[in-house]
Structure 1
Amino acid sequence: MEILLVVIFVLGYLGIAMEHSLKIDKLIPALAMMAILWALIGVNHLDVFEIIPGIGKESHHVEGVLLHHLGKTAEILFFLMGAMTIVEIIDYFDGFSTIKSFIRTKSKVRLLWLFSTLAFVLSAIIDNLTATIVLITILQKIVSDKETRLWFAGLIVIAANAGGAWSPIGDVTTTMLWIANKVSANQLIIHVLLPSIVCYALPTLIASRLSIFKGNIEEIIVEDNVNTNSALMFYLGLGGILFVPLFKTLTHLPPYVGMMLSLAVVAAVAEFLSNRRFKVGKAMGDHDGSHHSPLHKSLSKIEMPSLLFFLGILMAVAALESLGMLYDFAGSLEANIPYLGTEHASTKISDLVVLLLGAGSAIIDNVPLVAASIGMFQIGMDEPAWHFIAYAAGTGGSILIIGSAAGVVAMGMEKIDFFWYLKKIGGLALIGFLAGSAVFVVLRDFLLNSH
């Protein structure tokens, strides 16, 4: 029976990895795989376990284990739902147009550094996917040459993925590790920020020496903000998202609770501003849009396919975890692959395993890879391996255009060819990934030896 379950998981995984070839949204194989796996477990009355750190496998009833994993998955989904809604409220007020005020130079090199740095910083707050969409939208308005814009977009993808790796709210995988209490916000930043900076800065530095970034672009037209509340909602929304780690630190409650509080505050201000604008418009005889609520409008635009995909893949991985299969697989990895780090490290997960996981995330979605890692490795909170996994899974996807959500959306917005990206940008991404990995290992060993 275990062989059948593994075959179903592999087939579902292939369906996810080949969604572009099959032209089937990846949420479909993810949901089908999840439902079939748990159905087979239930029908065949298979023994399910909960992995207790330091103890091992402890048998439980299937319904209890299913409810346990659903609760953990729901924490991630509601957190993401709140963050997505805040971002959509910002966009409702055209808040991201505020970023245009930072763009005053015509130099291609300065613009490259500006866009890369903005991608790195924004992705740490509003996630790498949204940051990529926002910046490429702005890029399309100020850079007219197609080839130049493709290079800009490729470097934005690298920087956005690097920026998401060091922040607990910057990437789905780091959020998963944070919510699962595998990493804390401050230790994640201490261990991963510097490698992430190297990961984005080195490719940007190399690219800035290329001929494509010599000279200036045409005259920049900076549009005035149409919505007078755009800057207010931009900073309020970002502040609300940044408040969540602080809320978790102060209350020790799950992050989704803080995100719901931030959403309530941002939505309340949005409704107030919208109602006030409607009253002014009504006094002037304008009755259009009286039934439009910023909150309702934003909720209707959040990425439900992504949320359903996360539900499917996380619960599918949970099925294998509950059978003890991931736990046993991790044991074989630790026994057969040597650890390459410092002798004083308490974590016995090979650096090679983590690097392969990062490279694999360029081919296979990093969400199931990290979900499987959480189920496999029973090591303590803030062990260096978790920080390395956060870095590798977050940045390794930049090597291929289809290896990350940021890359896929850039591919769609700019019609980037797979092989063009592989030839022009993939090498730069690989250099950044490996350089950042080397910095991580050196920094990790230094911090471990200094204690």
Structure 2
Amino acid sequence: MYWFSIGIIVLAFVLIVAEDVVHINKAKSTLFLGTLVWLLAFIVPQPGQDAALVQEHLNENLLEIATLWLFLMAAMTFVAYLNHQGLITQLVYRALPARLGQRKLMLMMALLALAFSSLADNITASLIMLSLLSSLKLKPRAMVKFSALIVFAVNSGGVSLITGDVTTLMIFLAGKVTIADLFMLIPAALCGLLLLLATLLTGSNAEIEIPHFRRPIAGADKVIAALFVATIITTLLFSMFFAIPPVLTFLFGLSVMFLTHRYLNRNKPARQDVLEYIREIEFDTLLFFLGVLLLVGMLKQLAVLDQLPRLYTVLPVAGANYVVGLLSALVDNVPLTAAILQSGVEMDTADWMCLTYATGVGGSLLIIGSAAGVIAMSKIGPLNFTSFLRYTPRLLLAYSAGYAAVWAIGHALT
């Protein structure tokens, strides 16, 4: 049963890769196989386990999934509202000229994604940046190229703040790095991003027409946008100073948005209720997350991830951390990080900084390796596993450069 369960998990990831060949939606296949493998765990428990222990492991997994789901739902509701009202599109149109060279547009998008994900979480940054990309109506090949750049930029920016990436928060709360240490990841992340950008700027620099449909932005929409920004900032501050889980602050911000919207439109009964925007969320994305996290949770249940600390007995610490980053492109980075933190592996501050970068950015190498990639695959039509794979060598080069920069900065400081 152990190897049968492993086979199911491998099959699930194969079906994700082969979605365009088998014509089975990845959300449906991962949800089916993710729930199946847990059903089998109850029916035929592993040696030394019983239903109560499997239930305990499932509850831990469901808690992680629920936290991610609720956070994603709250962020997507904000973005769905702002997109429906055209506010994000209007901001883009006002910031960009009517015609813009593709290279300059890529530079602007990359820096914007890096900066935004440094201030917010990478899920929120991904949703907004991909919404901006969708509004530009680029050709399919250009959409894939921009998507690869955005995924890498979002993940690179997210490692520098505790609200940007869950693994960064885990390593910070374990006392391995300080806020000052994390800020030093920013120049290293920028280094890797600029190298990736340089490899993507080759070829045509054709001008892209930016359609402009300038219209006034309603005062109520400006208030909701301000609440969104305030929620992001408050999430960061509350997490830093009071250790409040980001999902709780974001859900509170969402509730404030609901009440504020109702008050602002109290005399407009015909206006769409803000709760309707929850129905506009793409549940394919949420179901895909659910299926993938159930599969990863089973890997943890089967103790597959417990073998990870052995890397540190075979390789130097710097090399092991680099490989962990590569593994995070295949396996969720949260259990990878948790396994290392719980293993008692001894590392200095510079090495923990390297691990923080590796687990946050290494997932960019494959489209299924990070939340940003999964969201991109759900929202950008031409993007799939195979089309993204074309850019993996360049992403690997950029990841390696960023990792080397973190190692150099970390050891220079210590």
TM-score (norm 1): 0.73
Change in 2 beyond 3 A, CA 1:133/1:192:
same
Any conservation in 1 of the 2:15–2:26 contact (CA below 8 Å)? yes
Say whether 1:178 aligns with 2:169. yes
- Aligned residue for 2:214, secondary structure, equals coil
- Aligned residue for 2:95? 102
Change in 2 beyond 3 A, CA 1:308/1:110:
closer
- Please show how residues 382-397 of structure 1 align to structure 2 within 5 Å: 383-384=352-353, 386-397=355-366
Residues 196-238 of structure 1, C-alpha deviations (whole Å, 9 max, x = no match): 2122223334555x46337x66687461335344433323212
- Aligned residue for 1:37, secondary structure, equals helix
Q: Return the letter of the residue paired with 1:86.
A: F
Q: Return the letter of the residue paired with 1:330.
A: L
How far is the alpha carbon of 1:439 from its aligned partner?
Answer: 1.0
The number of residue pairs the alignment matches comes to 399
Any conservation in 2 of the 1:354–1:388 contact (CA below 8 Å)? no
- Aligned residue for 2:327? 357
- Aligned residue for 2:116? 122
For residues 187 and 60 of structure 1, the distance between their equivalents in structure 2, rounded to whole angstroms, comes to 43
Q: Identity percentage over the alignment?
A: 20
Any conservation in 1 of the 2:377–2:383 contact (CA below 8 Å)? no
Match of 2:183 among 187, 190, 215: 190
- Aligned residue for 1:159? 153
For residues 334 and 218 of structure 1, the distance between their equivalents in structure 2, rounded to whole angstroms, comes to 51
Change in 2 beyond 3 A, CA 1:98/1:332:
same
- Aligned residue for 2:410? 444
For residues 13 and 155 of structure 1, the distance between their equivalents in structure 2, rounded to whole angstroms, comes to 23
For residues 388 and 57 of structure 2, the distance between their equivalents in structure 1, rounded to whole angstroms, comes to 43
Residues 118-139 of structure 1, C-alpha deviations (whole Å, 9 max, x = no match): 2323345363531332222343
For residues 378 and 285 of structure 2, the distance between their equivalents in structure 1, rounded to whole angstroms, comes to 13
- Aligned residue for 1:198, secondary structure, equals helix
For residues 417 and 64 of structure 1, the distance between their equivalents in structure 2, rounded to whole angstroms, comes to 35
Q: Return the letter of the residue paired with 1:36.
A: L
Q: Return the letter of the residue paired with 2:92.
A: I
How far is the alpha carbon of 1:319 from its aligned partner?
Answer: 2.8
- Aligned residue for 2:81? 89
Change in 2 beyond 3 A, CA 1:98/1:234:
farther
- Aligned residue for 1:334? 312
For residues 73 and 130 of structure 2, the distance between their equivalents in structure 1, rounded to whole angstroms, comes to 18
Q: Return the letter of the residue paired with 1:301.
A: E
Any conservation in 1 of the 2:16–2:26 contact (CA below 8 Å)? yes
Match of 1:266 among 257, 270, 275: 257
Any conservation in 1 of the 2:188–2:403 contact (CA below 8 Å)? yes
For residues 219 and 389 of structure 2, the distance between their equivalents in structure 1, rounded to whole angstroms, comes to 42
How far is the alpha carbon of 1:259 from its aligned partner?
Answer: 1.2
How far is the alpha carbon of 1:331 from its aligned partner?
Answer: 4.3
Say whether 1:73 aligns with 2:73. no
Say whether 1:237 aligns with 2:217. no
- Please show how residues 302-381 of structure 1 align to structure 2 within 5 Å: 302-327=281-306, 329-335=307-313, 337-341=314-318, 350-357=320-327, 361=329, 364=330, 368-374=331-337, 376-377=339-340, 378-379=342-343
Instruction: Provide structure 1 residue ranges, at least 5 long, that are not aligned to the other structure.
Output: 50-58, 280-288, 342-348
Say whether 1:227 aligns with 2:222. no
Pick the structure with greater CA Rg: 1
- Aligned residue for 1:202? 195
For residues 375 and 205 of structure 2, the distance between their equivalents in structure 1, rounded to whole angstroms, comes to 22
Let me know the Cα RMSD of the aligned residues.
Answer: 3.9
Residues 166-212 of structure 1, C-alpha deviations (whole Å, 9 max, x = no match): 45555xxx33663795688936843532232122223334555x463
Any conservation in 1 of the 2:130–2:147 contact (CA below 8 Å)? no
Change in 2 beyond 3 A, CA 1:395/1:373:
same
TM-score (norm 2): 0.79
